[in-house]
Structures are given as structure tokens and as C-alpha cells.
Amino acid sequence: MSAKKTGVPERVRVELGERSYDILIGKGVLSKAAEYLRPLKLGKRGVIITDANVEPLYAGALCDALGKGGFAAEVLSVPAGEASKSLRQANRLFEKLPSLGLDRHSFLIALGGGVVGDLAGFVAASYLRGIALVQVPTSLLAQVDSSVGGKTGVNLPQGKNLVGAFYQPKLVLADTDTLETLPERELRSGFAEVIKHGAIRDARFFGWLEREYKRVLALDPEAVAHVVRRCCEIKAEVVSADERESGLRALLNFGHTLGHAMETLSDYNGLLHGEAISMGMCCGARLSVKRAGLSEAEAQRLCGLIAASGLPTRLGKSFKLGELLEAARLDKKARDGKLRFVLLKCLGEAFVSDAVTDADLKEVVDVCR
Ligand code: NAD
Ligand code: GLY
């Protein structure tokens, strides 16, 4: 019987030696947080970091759930949105934490989307030189991607995620019930990362998404559970093999070089992460046809699924090529000033290429406008 039917959460393990941890996925896992935290043998005191949208929805329930298990948690909130993934908000949190009586056995809980997860993760990695972190992702994007794998950090005005640390959580609790309150545009944005996982690593899953995307976007519980579990399995496998991105992990950045550049040029305002990487993946598909032998038919399937799920495929006129290239040069995959791109040989198989030229990029950006 499936975990959904028995009420037992699905469990995906991220194997990283003594830093291994579980991702628990299911309906209502948030309300059992204390039960899942207890085996971690953390201290009794914690701080929940969340944002202004998520706090009124779930912070009270999480505090209650922790309280029943003998844990005490304060709540600190930041404004909602990408602009909060900043040194300014990190500093605000650092200044508040000392008055909350935490010690090295205490824990931080990131309750929210990827912005809260990355910000709180960065704060946890640094405060007291590192205190335990539990991720409680509440957006689809955070459940399928950002809460897993230990990349934490904040943006600079010059570029996305330029300051940060690898810092693994002790546990991830992905309560799929929380997706019920997620705005539709945010759900679609998260679906972009779902498509990415299929495109880079699992052609069969990609085919399933082509058939079932409507069920996922309608929050059919079985379809959502399948998507969250499969993405977490893929990410766990990649991260276990290459935690610090010396090779394989870079594939998770498909669509992100240009996507991050677009987010930077938008001043982290107006364009959602998943929307930016959707356009980045469409450019990636065109670059892959040119430089990696991706068939035209598969490129069209990828862009077709992105479009069908209500995500943007075209860049429009707002991004100037020169500015995009300049912003993209800060991409962490670049080597000696040369951009490197994740390309697809076929759906389900990706690699990092340094064969893409500025002329290729100009051509592709023009085609994708
Ligand atoms: P987000 O954190 O801004 O959340 C999206 C919006 O939905 C916010 O307004 C939030 O308040 C709201 N929200 C979240 N959960 C909700 C719920 N259950 N009900 C109602 N509203 C809810 O954005 P995101 O899309 O979750 O994450 C994007 C961020 O993740 C980007 O900064 C991106 O760079 C980062 N990211 C990180 C990794 C990683 O490995 N660390 C991977 C992918 C993306
Ligand atoms: N989203 C890219 C990574 O986690 O490596």
C-alpha cells in the first residue's frame, strides 16, 4: 500500500556519510514535527525562520506541534520575496538571534519557500559557527529542489547566490498539504524545477510529466507525491555523488546560467526563479540542438511542456544581449572567464560544455525572443 494511503510519509535518504539525512514527504508531516525531530537528539530550543506570507499560515501550527513534543520555538519573519535573500536580512537575523537563548545544541527551522530555506540555511551555517538546520519547505520549488542538498546563501546586487555555504540540513519535512495555499503562479514556478529534473536525468519521468502535468498543477495528491518523491530521489542521488559540485552536481543548473542572469537584471523583482529558468531552459534546448546533438523534436518537447504548464518560453525584448552576457559571467560554473553551459544530449542526459560561443548565445537569444 502506498505511503499516502497508510499516512506514513515517504522517505528519501540523502547519503552523505555522517551528514546523511532523511527527506520525509507526505500529507500532514508538519503536525508531527516533534516526533520526527526527537531522534536527532537536538536541544529543546529552536528558532523558526519564515516569511510574512507563510508565518500566518503555518508558524503557529509548527510551534504547537513542536510544543507538544517538549520543544520551544520562537518565530522570526522576513518580508516575502526574493529581495529578502540578502545580506541585509541575514544581518537582521544575526542581530536578533543572540537574545533568544540559543546554544550549539539548538536548531533553526526554515519554514517557507526557497528564499527562506536559502537565507535561514546561510544563517544556520554561520551562527555560532553552525547550528542544526531543519528544512520545512512549503513551496513546490522548495519541496522538489531547494530544501535538499545543502546549498545555502544570499544574492548580491551583482549576482544570484554569490555569498553562501554548503550546509546540509539534519532533516527535511515536506508537507504536501501546504501546497494547497500556494499561489498558482508560484506552483507553476516550482514546476519548472520539476521539468528540469526530468530533462537532465530521467526521460521516463519527463514522459510521465508530459502526460500528467495537469494533475500535478491541479494538486492531485498522488501526482504531487510522485513528483516530490521522484525529484528528491534524483537530487539526493546527484548530491550524494557530488556534494560540492566538482562535476555531476553542475547538471542541476540546467537553464540557470541565463536564468540567474535574468533574475539579476530584474533586480530580483517581478520575475520568479522558475520563470527565469524556464526561459533559460528553452535557450538551453536551442544551444543543445546546436552544440550537443539534441534532436529538434526533443527540444520542441521540452519547450512544449514548459509552455503547456503556463511558464514563459520567450525572453521578450527587455534583456539586452550584452547585459545578459555580463551578468552570466558571474555564474559559478565559469572557468577563467569562460562561460560553461549545461546542455542536453537527449532528454534525460545532460553534460557540462565549454563549447558554447558568444556567437551561439547571440543567435539563440535572438531566436528565443
Ligand atoms: P519563495 O521562497 O519566494 O516562495 C514563493 C512565494 O510563495 C513567496 O511569496 C512565499 O511567501 C510564498 N509561499 C511559500 N509557501 C507558501 C504556501 N505554502 N502558501 C502560501 N504562500 C507560500 O520562492 P521559491 O520559489 O520557493 O524559491 C525560490 C528560491 O529558491 C530562489 O532564491 C532560488 O535561487 C532558490 N533555489 C535554491 C536552490 C538550492 O539548492 N538551494 C535550488 C533551487 C532554487
Ligand atoms: N539547484 C542546484 C543545486 O542544488 O545544485
Spatial distance between the Cα atoms of 16 and 147, rounded to a whole number of angstroms? 15
Using the mean position of ligand 1's atoms as its centre, give its distance from the Cα of residue 82 in Å.
8
Is residue 328 a contact partner of residue 339, using CB atoms and an 8 Å limit?
A: yes
Using the mean position of ligand 1's atoms as its centre, give its distance from the Cα of residue 142 in Å.
6
Burial class (CB within 10 angstroms; exposed 0-12, middle 13-18, buried 19+) of 241: exposed
Ligand located closest to 254 CA: 2
Give yes or no for residue 150 CB within 6 A of ligand 2: no
Is residue 253 part of the annotated active site? The answer reads yes
Q: What is the enclosing helix (H) or strand (E) of 193?
A: helix 184-201
Spatial distance between the Cα atoms of 340 and 343, rounded to a whole number of angstroms? 9
Cell 535573500 locates to: 85
Measured at the alpha carbon of residue 195, what is the angle toward residues 312 and 28, in degrees to the nearest 5? 110
Give yes or no for residue 253 CB within 6 A of ligand 2: yes
Cell 522538489 locates to: 144
Query: Helix, strand, coil shares of the chain as percentages rounded to 5?
Result: 55, 20, 30
Q: What is the enclosing helix (H) or strand (E) of 361?
A: helix 358-367
Is residue 211 part of the annotated active site? The answer reads no
Is residue 120 a contact partner of residue 226, using CB atoms and an 8 Å limit?
A: no
Given 260, 286, 290, 340, the catalytic residue: 260
Is residue 260 part of the annotated active site? The answer reads yes
Is residue 193 part of the annotated active site? The answer reads yes
Q: What is each CA distance from 198 to 192, 206, 233, 305, in whole angstroms?
A: 10, 5, 11, 11
Q: Which atom of ligand 2 is nearest to the CA of 249?
A: 5
Which pTM does this prediction carry?
0.97
Q: Which residue minimizes the CA distance to atom 20 of ligand 1?
A: 182
pLDDT in tens, the chain (369 residues): 445 555 799 999 999 999 999 999 999 999 999 999 999 999 999 999 999 999 999 999 999 999 999 999 999 999 999 999 999 999 999 999 999 999 999 999 999 999 999 999 999 999 999 999 999 999 999 999 999 999 999 999 999 999 999 999 999 999 999 999 999 999 999 999 999 999 999 999 999 999 999 999 999 999 999 999 999 999 999 999 999 999 999 999 999 999 999 999 999 999 999 999 999 999 999 999 999 999 999 999 999 999 999 999 999 888 999 999 999 988 888 888 889 999 999 999 999 999 999 999 999 999 999
Ligand located closest to 160 CA: 1
Pocket of ligand 1 (CB under 6 A): 51, 53-54, 57, 80-82, 85, 112-116, 118, 138-139, 141-142, 145-146, 149, 151, 178, 181-182, 186, 189-190, 193, 273
The per-residue DSSP string of 273-287 comes to HHHHHHHHHHHHHHH
Spatial distance between the Cα atoms of 264 and 262, rounded to a whole number of angstroms? 5
Mutation probe of ligand 1 site: the residue of 148, 179, 186 with most atoms within 8 A of C-beta:
186
The β-bridge relationship of strands 341-346 and 349-353 is antiparallel
pLDDT value, residue 331 = 86
